[in-house]
Amino acid sequence: MDMRTSLNTDAIKVEERWCAHNYKPLPVVISRAEGVWMWDAEGRRYLDMMSAYSAVNTGHGHPRVLKALVEQAGRVAVVSRAFHTDRLGPFLARLCQLAGLDGACPMNTGAEAVETAIKAARRWGYRVKNIPADRAEILVAEGNFHGRTTTIVGFSAEAAYRDGFGPFAPGFRLVPFGDATAMEAAITPHTAAILVEPIQGEAGIVVPPAGYLKRLREMCDRHNVLLILDEIQSGLGRTGRWFAHQHEEIRPDGLCLGKALGGGVMPVSAFVARRDLIDMFVPGNHGSTFGGNPLAAAVGLAALEVIADEGLVERSAELGAHMMARLSALNSPAIRAVRGRGLWVGVDIDPAFATARAVCERLMDKGVLSKETHETVIRFAPPLVISRPELDWAIDRFAETLDGMAR
């Protein structure tokens, strides 16, 4: 084995020796990235069609995001919420204006944003709706993925997420995703909120029927129930609108955001909500040491400005339609379905043909990186800065991969 090849092998061996085996990465070692491209330890180049689960919407190492990061780090990086800073207000003001909501609670990870939403919804249920103490219930959708904390995995339908981690918190009911009639039938006087993803990402880029979100909005209004949307993956331009719920022209009561909010350089998240909901938090009842730190606020604001100034939402809509059309036209016997919106598409592979993992490994050999979910679905979610020729190059490699495996 030559020295260049051993660089990848040695790095994988060290990681597998010391890191918990809670992921199963593709056998590639990324050492550098820029824009939509990544390079391994041997210098081979790959097109990123994954975007770190949509955390890199603005591309790897965007100059404006890095400039904000470095300049703010040189001034002050971490100040707890024990003190005010000059960065947090402008960041949250811009975020709330984009979301059309009244206030925000800054956090770090997506799971923290969801946990924040759960706490706000329960307290609202007790303080505003007068649900009896400790009886508040939140309706969630089958196939959901909202994070990895014990509360959140407790209301997952995936056995692997739950196995060995109980007992779990009560107060959640699972309802089939996309079935608005079933959701309304599940509402009781103790229902404080409905928590759903507008499009389910980890479930395989599952898009609900048209009108689903609008019907949820209407039933929540009728029954005095909060509508909270998890747009941690689907938000910030990924589906061709700033937020996926805008395709149905509704306004949620609360919105969980993260991933791309950190500009691809650090974890930044927030729970954004209407005023009476965000006001459920008072000094002492919720917090985070790093949530809302000035470095995160500076990076978050820069990420939002890049998405707006460079027209990445519009680019996602245009190139997303092109990607859907091209993938749908492949006419491969390996493909059972193509579904998605914007630059976020799942290709469902027939397991009789191959596993999605096997396809991703072959695709890696051709210089395109993606990752399977639920064993049969390949996700295509490139950074929103991708060009049409780059996107076409990746789709061409995918078509060649399927054709080669079929032969």
> Six-digit token pair at 388?
């049409």
Q: Which of 259, 271, 281, 290 is catalytic?
A: 259
**Active-site annotation holds for 214:** no
143 within 8 A of 149, measured Cβ to Cβ: no
Q: What angle do CA 110, 273, 210 make, to 5 degrees?
A: 80
Task: Determine the Cα–Cα distance for residues 64 and 240; give it in Å rounded to an integer.
Answer: 22
382 within 8 A of 345, measured Cβ to Cβ: no
- Give residue 176's region: left, alpha or beta (phi > 0; psi -120 to 50): beta
Residue 35, classed as helix, strand or coil, is strand
Q: Which of 40, 48, 230, 253 is catalytic?
A: 230
Which contiguous run of DSSP H or E holds residue 215?
A: helix 212-223
Q: Is the dihedral of CA 112, 374, 239, 194 positive or negative?
A: negative
**Active-site annotation holds for 129:** no
Parallel, antiparallel, or unpaired: how do β-strands 37-40 and 45-48 relate?
A: antiparallel
Query: CA-CA distances (angstroms) from residue 11 to 4, 5, 182, 215?
Result: 12, 11, 49, 50
Parallel, antiparallel, or unpaired: how do β-strands 269-273 and 368-369 relate?
A: unpaired
**Active-site annotation holds for 259:** yes
Q: Which of 48, 129, 145, 371 is catalytic?
A: 145
Burial 83-117 (b: 16+ CB within 10 A, else e): eebebbeebbeebbebbebebbbbbbbbbbbbbbb
The candidate with the shortest Cα–Cα distance to 301, out of 68, 97, 51, is 68
Task: Determine the Cα–Cα distance for residues 192 and 226; give it in Å rounded to an integer.
Answer: 6
Beta pairing partners, 339: 346
Task: Determine the Cα–Cα distance for residues 198 and 265; give it in Å rounded to an integer.
Answer: 25
The candidate with the shortest Cα–Cα distance to 198, out of 215, 212, 180, is 212
Residues marked active site are found at 145, 230, 259
